[in-house]
Amino acid sequence: MSTTAEIAPRGLSRRRMRVDGWRWAGRIFLVFMLLYTAVPMIWMLITSIKSGFAAMQFPPQWWPDEPTLASYEKLLDPQNSVGQDFLRFFWNSLFVSTVTTILSVIVAVPAAYAFSRFSFPGRNFLFFAVLLRNMFPAVIFLVPLFILMRLLGLMNTHGSLILTYLTFGLPLAIWLLKGFYDNIPVQLEQAARIDGATRFQAFILIVMPLSTPGIIATAIYSFIGAWNEYIYAYTFLTKNDQLTLPVGIQRFFSENTTDFPGLMAASFMMSVPVVVLFLVLQRYFVRALTEGAVKH
C-alpha cells in the first residue's frame, strides 16, 4: 500500500527533472547559437572602429586601444574618391532594389490572385513552372542572358539587373501571395459585387487591403534579394559608376586587400538598410511564411 503511494510522486518528480533537463539543454543550445551568430558580427563592428595598424596585430586587440570612426568618415565623405565611389554604389543599389521591388509587386499581385481564384486550363502547370524557376542557379542563365542583354543593348545598364531580378523574386512572391488570397473568403468579394462593384473594384477595394501583410512580405523579400544580389551584377556591369554595392565593394577591396577596417565598415553599412528593413517588418514576413508557405 504505502509503496505504491510513494512511487507515484517519485516517478513524477523524475519526469519533471527530465523536462528540466530538456529545458536546460535548450537554453545552453540557444546560448551557443547566439555566440555563433553574434560573434562574427560583433567582430566586424570592433574591427571597423580600429585603425589599419591596430587591426594588423597578433594577438589581436579585443577592444581597440584607440577606437576611431575614420573608416566610416572616409566611406561617407563625398569629397574624396573612396567616398564618392561608395556613395554612388549605395545609390545604385538603392535604385535597382526599389525599382525591382515595385515592379515585382505589380506583376506578382495579379498573377497570384489569378492562380488562387481562377481555374483556367494550364493553371497548375503554369504555377509549377513559375515555382520551378527557383530551382535553377543563376549560372545556368548567365551565359545566354549575357548574350541576350548584349542583343537588347542592356549591357552596363541597370535595366538588365532589374529584368533579371524580377524573375527570381517572382516565384516566391507569387507563392506567398497565393497563400494569402487562398485564405481570403470569396464571399467578401461576392458581397461587394452584389453591391455593384466590378471584379476589378472588388479586387482593389476588398482583396488588396486584406492582403497588405503579404504584399509587404513580398516587397521585403524582393528588396533584400535585389540588394544582396551579386553574380548577375558582377557579370553584367563593367563600368565603375554603374556598380551596385556587393560588386563595388569587391572590386574596391581586391585593390586594397589589407584595409580590413574599411572593408568591415563597408560590410556593416551595406547590411544596415536590409537589416533595419527586415527588423521593422519581420512580423509580416514571418506571418506571410506561415500563411503562404506552411499552411499551403
Which residue, 5 or 22, is less far from other proteins as judged by CB? 22
CB 120, min distance to other proteins, A: 4
Position 62, amino acid:
W
Q: Could you say whether residue 250 binds other proteins (CB under 8 A)? A: yes
CA distances from 143 to 93, 149, 231, 232, 261 (A): 23, 10, 12, 10, 36
DSSP 103-142: HHHHHHHHHHHHHHH---TTHHHHHHHHHHGGGS-HHHHH
Q: Which stretch binds other proteins (CB under 8 A): 15-23, 67-75, 79-87, 208-216?
A: 15-23
Which residue, 79 or 280, is less far from other proteins as judged by CB? 280
Q: Could you say whether residue 136 binds other proteins (CB under 8 A)? A: yes
Question: Within 10 Å of residue 171's Cβ, how many Cβ atoms?
Answer: 18
Q: How far apart are CA 238 and CA 156, in angstroms?
A: 6
Single out the residue of 105, 114, 197, 210 in contact with other proteins (rule: CB under 8 A): 114
Single out the residue of 58, 81, 195, 239 in contact with other proteins (rule: CB under 8 A): 58
Q: Could you say whether residue 213 binds other proteins (CB under 8 A)? A: no
Single out the residue of 130, 161, 176, 237 in contact with other proteins (rule: CB under 8 A): 130
Q: What phi, psi does 60 have (nearest 5°)?
A: -65, 155
CB 279, min distance to other proteins, A: 6
Angle between helices 158-183 and 212-228 (to 10 degrees): 150
CB 118, min distance to other proteins, A: 4
Q: Could you say whether residue 24 binds other proteins (CB under 8 A)? A: no
Q: How far apart are CA 114 and CA 123, in angstroms?
A: 9
CB 226 within 8 A of CB 97: yes
Site for other proteins in 165-194 (CB under 8 A): 166-167, 170, 174, 181-183, 185-187
CA distances from 137 to 100, 140, 254 (A): 19, 6, 25
Single out the residue of 1, 8, 17, 279 in contact with other proteins (rule: CB under 8 A): 279
CB 58, min distance to other proteins, A: 6
Q: Could you say whether residue 295 binds other proteins (CB under 8 A)? A: yes
Single out the residue of 70, 87, 94, 138 in contact with other proteins (rule: CB under 8 A): 138
